[in-house]
Structure 1
Amino acid sequence: MGVEEYKTKIRAIIEQNTTEYQEASLDIHHHPEVSNHEFHSSDVLIHLLQKGGFDVKKDVAGHRTGFDARYKSSKPGPTIAFLAEYDALPGLGHGCGHNLFGPTSSLAGVAIRSLIDDLGGEIRVYGTPGEEGGENGSAKESFVKNGFFNDVDAALCVHPGYKNKLSGSLLANDPVSIEFFGKPAHAAGAPEKGINALDAIILTFNGINALRQQLKEDIRIHGIITHGGDVPNVIPDYASAKFYLRAATRPELDEVKEKVLNIVKGAALATSTTYKFGLYQNKVDHMILTPSFDQLFAKHLEAFKIPYEKDSGKLGGSSDVGNVSQVIPTIQPTLSISDQPIGGHTVAFKEAAASKKGLASIPLGAQLLALTALDLYLDGILLEKIKKQHAEKAAQ
């Protein structure tokens, strides 16, 4: 089978399955589920992948809503993984469009599955819960730690957005929990007998605010108080907060985390409290960009006459796709789902994720992903070039 025949078959498989995958996307959109609770959403995708010929394992990498879908040819060849997300935001729903993300990667996987016996190698679709964080969140780090990428040559996915863009820079992120423990007492009758845990939390916030003056502009620290006491007339013996600590790279973030820990220690010393400090979900690493891999995707955008933007270098959000990029070449371009400017994590984005243009991004994204993966299966020299460039970027 020649290259054009492969491309024709990819288009045919995607066209045949588009309606079913769009309906699945709307189903996921109408049943939003947060991290570690995406039971319906993961089952919807698993059903589609099994129907498409994949062997699927559920409850993997320590995530009860994660899955590992595989199909391996008897012929040797590369192993490529598509990454699927399907979690929603608490209280908002699919304001990041993951109802599109999961079906797009799954449809791309099914398209490649139809060719893999002829191409050789293996195709996988990893269902990775909780990209938005939350209970047992940022599953891609668990997949990395548990060796799911040890024998994978490259990983790819597309994310819905306002504009078509190549993979962008992402901040490393440590979600930390801070707890202080004191001693209760009547706030009016015997305040001298109490040890105020809330005071320690307030000192921590003030200490972090003082630290900001000495931080680089790409470092972000933002948090909330999750418990500050029960009633005003009892000195709080327990108080807690959660923070996101972000920086451009993992080494920089490790330094920031140490500085925040010192603030916590100081607050505990100043208030005579004790403390606990640490991650409350998986860490998130920064994105290692592999330009030659993104250019491969861009080649197909250009063939479809789709305008796109390159990485602006502006740092903003974080994603656990960065964790995958630490170990293998990884891309996460963005496909437009709106003709009007929309920001992520908004009602407008949620509406766009169920719009006509949003649903149209599924067959388009699946075809772009499948064609990019096809290049990797067909051209071993190109794949090695991409892997070499990634290794060089990772070593910097």
Structure 2
Amino acid sequence: MKDKISNIIDSLSDKLKEIASKIFDYAEIAYEEYKSSDELAKFLEENGFEVQRKVGGLETAIVGKYGSGKPIIAFIGEYDALPEIGHACGHNMIGTISAGAAVALAKLGILEQNQGTVMFIGTPAEERGTGKRILLDAGVFDNVDAALMIHPSSETAAFSDSFTVEHYKVEFFGKPAHAASKPYEGVNALDAVNLFFTGIALARQQLPERIRLHGIVKVGGQAFNIIPEYTMAEIGIRTLDDETQRKVTERVKNIAKGAALMTGCDYKMELLTTVKRVLSNEPIGKSLEENFKLVGEKVTKRTYEKGVGSTDMGDVTHAVPGIHGYIGVTKGKEVPGHTHEFAQCCNSTEGYEAMIRATKALAMTGYDLFSDPELLKNAKEYFEKTSKK
């Protein structure tokens, strides 16, 4: 049966490469993925899926369904690009891989013989870490039995590590004054934001390993001859466990408070988004690992030491059994994501061949979940055990 899956995807390969290439060229950023989501929606409709658009109140979210009843196996799509550098995270491939896997299972015919539903969930704005959270809150994942996706990378891996991340806006409020004639009448909000980032930099040497603090100043003042009345920064706090996250966040809040006190400013710190760490489902991951090997991939383990980020797929894996695998698209070379070089890999002949292998492995893993009730049972038991920790 897996040979048949492979053959089906081979027959779809030209179309899948065309879709991924178009999405690459569209390079639509978060919540503006109109053409990209439409490409995937049309592909699903052409292959017998019932497609719902504008799901969960999001203009570019789509859900495609084929079959009926349980189990419901969902393939997760992403398709947002980064500002300025486009698809330097390979999201042009993610939605294509998941849509291709979903269509392959529909064409396989197993859902005509047995009850079950193949689902494609197209999720906007992964780069903002918000799309999947909104769809979770809207109930889109409520009846899903397992959620699967594969992300481009420098190496192939079935299991992933990732950071929890909290994204904050930090504002400082001072008092304007003429910077030349009477600067002493002002309260300098720029001094406050500078002290805030100095405090962050100095705190790093006392923080435990495996913590990331990084941010930018988005508003630093309006004119060089005015004492800045208002400044605003954004900062991301990333850790690998909830307790550390709580402690580090408290430290950052105290640094903001201290910067305000030192300068006489008022301040406000607002949580914008939060994303949970990926909870990799071991039974599903082992199935994906075997299927990667079956299609000729050399499988490695993606660890913190090799570099990890954050993804709103983490929130999904805390709601349903899930996996966030990786496919190497860089011909064995280590190429960092979010770079022009990685973007080129995600629109290359070799990259698209890897994408097709990933589509096969993902479809085969979905097939395993449909055809082996014991695997799905084990996945749910593993989820119940690990999600309660």
| Mapped partners of 1:23, 1:305: distance in 2 | 23
Equivalent in the alignment of 2:247: 255
Equivalent residue for 2:47?
52
Matches within 5 A, 1:171-320: 171-280=163-272, 282-314=273-305, 316-320=308-312
> Which blocks of at least 5 consecutive residues in structure 1 are unaligned?
none
**CA deviation profile, 1:110-167 (whole Å, cap 9, x unmatched):** 112233232311111111112122xxx4311222222222211111111112221122
Q: 1: CA distance between counterparts of 2:300 and 2:280?
A: 15
Q: Deviations over 1:334-383 (max 9, x none)?
A: 11212233221111111111111111123222211111111111111211
Identify which of 10, 13, 18 aligns with 2:5: 10
Would you say the 8 A contact 2:77–2:94 is kept in 1?
A: yes
Secondary structure of 1:333's counterpart equals strand
Residue 69 of structure 1: aligned partner: 64
**Corresponding residue number in structure 2 for 1:97:** 90
Secondary structure of the residue that 2:165 maps to in structure 1?
strand
Tell me what 1:155 maps to: 147
Superposition TM-score, scaled by structure 2 size = 0.94
Listed one character per residue, the Cα deviations across residues 33-75 of structure 1 (whole Å, up to 9, x for unaligned) are 11111111111111111112222222223432111222232xx
Whole-Å Cα distance in 1 between the matches of residues 201 and 292 of structure 2? 44
* Alignment partner, residue 76 of structure 2: 83
Give how far 1:269 is off.
Answer: 2.5
Amino acid at match of 1:384: K
CA RMSD after TM alignment: 1.7
Cα gap change, 1:221 to 1:313, in 2 (>3 Å): closer
Instruction: Tell me the residue number matched to 1:361.
Output: 354
Write the letter of the residue equivalent to 1:225: V
**In 1, Cα distance between equivalents of 2:172 and 2:62:** 37
2 CA distance for matches of 1:51 and 1:293?
29
- The more displaced of 307-316 and 176-185 is 307-316
What residue is the counterpart of 2:34 in the other structure?
Answer: 39
Name the CA distance, whole Å, in 1 between partners of 2:64 and 2:242. 30
Aligned-partner Cα distance in 2 for 1:119–1:13: 19
The Cα shift of 1:8 comes to 4.8
CA shift at 1:214, angstroms? 2.5
Moved more, 301-310 or 155-164: 301-310
Residue identity opposite 2:183 in structure 1: P
In structure 2, relative to structure 1, the CA distance for the partners of 1:245 and 1:62 (3 Å cut) is farther
Report if the CA contact (8 A) 1:250-1:286 is conserved. no
Identity value in percent:
36
Distance change (3 Å), C-alpha of 1:178 and 1:251: same
State the secondary structure of the residue aligned to 1:157: strand
Aligned partner of 1:370 among 359, 363, 367: 363
Measure the CA separation in 2 of the matches of 1:277 and 1:212.
Answer: 20
CA displacement at 1:102 relative to structure 2? 1.0
Partner residue of 2:334 out of 333, 337, 341? 341
Aligned-residue offset at 1:224: 1.0
Structure 2 letter corresponding to 1:118: Q
> Given the alignment of the two structures, is residue 129 of structure 1 paired with residue 121 of structure 2, yes or no?
no
Are 1:23 and 2:14 counterparts? no
Q: How many residues align?
A: 385
Q: Residue type matched to 1:336 in 2?
A: G
- Residues 3-45 of structure 1 deviation map (CA, whole Å, 9 limit, x = unaligned): x3xx354334322322112111111111211111111111111
